Amino acid sequence: MLIRQLDNNRLEIRAPAKVNLFLEVLGKRPDGYHNINSLFQAVSLYDTLEFSVTDRPGVSVNLVGDRVVSSGDTEIMTWDKQVPLGNDNLICRAYHIMRREFGLAHGLKVVLDKQIPVAAGLGGGSADGAAAIIACNLLFGLDLTRAQRAQLSLEIGSDLPFFFSGGQALVSGRGEVVEPVEVPTDYTMLLVNPGELVSTAEAYRLLKRDLTNRRQPFTLAPCRDVSEFIAALRKTGNDFEQVLGASYPDLDRIRDVLLQAGAVLTRLSGSGPTMFALFVDTPAPGRDATDDWGSWRLFTVEPITWPLEVV
């Protein structure tokens, strides 16, 4: 998270997307969630949120930009103006949890510049929700520890606790076990989003894991350089790729185009449908590199980290 205090009552947070460099689904839990084993990496694609304190309790979120996003079941097109979002987004849910827990006497006005595609496996909504918890903590002087903020965020979604790490973490349980790690970052990455929305619930339904389907989770060994790191990543994968392939044939086409462009590793992020590719000795290709991109959205990004004390 990149945090900038604008004045005593306003701050700006740039909330990054994440990719799952590998993702294993180990089985369904008694509470209905699934245990995972994953390496999360934050990348330099951001939603920018400006938070302002209001006199009365409550929260409003206005969307700005020139793109298509979804709020609940509603798709919204914006044209460089502010469009209000409903209360079902994770920013509003985060504020209401903080108000419930700490009796907040003031509210928040939020302006969201949405750049991270929604329902894309990149954790954009989770990053926004985590940013709202950080904003409440700072603007209302709550002085919560990082662990306390992460625990509160778990009420909103399983991916949120990661965003209170330093940008790299091994994530297990249903997302609540976050172990910060240091892995190589001397590569570039291309994200390719085909523009389709994938429901996480539907992806898990297709996976059909249950409590009896257990295996030994992959263990990431220490890596001295990026070559060792990529070699280690090749030993695992993303469990959603095979089950989503039949429903989303663009995923195989994206993989082929990325490998032809020189990617050393290509994989699905989260429950998709965004694919990512790592490039080491060659630069990530732009849209003009091939005619095969079609209507897919491309984002050239880098892995990022930040000091733990920031969040």
Catalytic residue numbers read: 18, 159
Task: List the structure tokens of 167.
Answer: 């940008």
| Distance separating alpha carbons of residues 202 and 298, to the nearest angstrom | 25
Sheet of 188-193, strands arranged across: 265-268, 275-279, 188-193, 297-301
Backbone dihedral region of 262: left (phi > 0), alpha (psi from -120 to 50 degrees) or beta?
left
Phi, psi of 293 (to 5 degrees): -65, -30
Number of CB atoms found within 10 A of residue 227's CB: 12
Angle between helices 90-102 and 146-153 (to 10 degrees): 120
Task: List the structure tokens of 20.
Answer: 């799952």
Task: Give the type of residue at 171.
Answer: V
Task: List the structure tokens of 241.
Answer: 């790729």
Task: List the structure tokens of 260.
Answer: 């032809």
Task: List the structure tokens of 262.
Answer: 């020189």
Handedness of CA 75, 64, 188, 297 (dihedral sign): positive
β-strand partners of 20: 40
| Distance separating alpha carbons of residues 308 and 1, to the nearest angstrom | 10
For residue 241, give every residue at least 6 positions away whose Cβ sits within 8 Å of its Cβ, in sequence order, or none: 251, 267, 268, 272
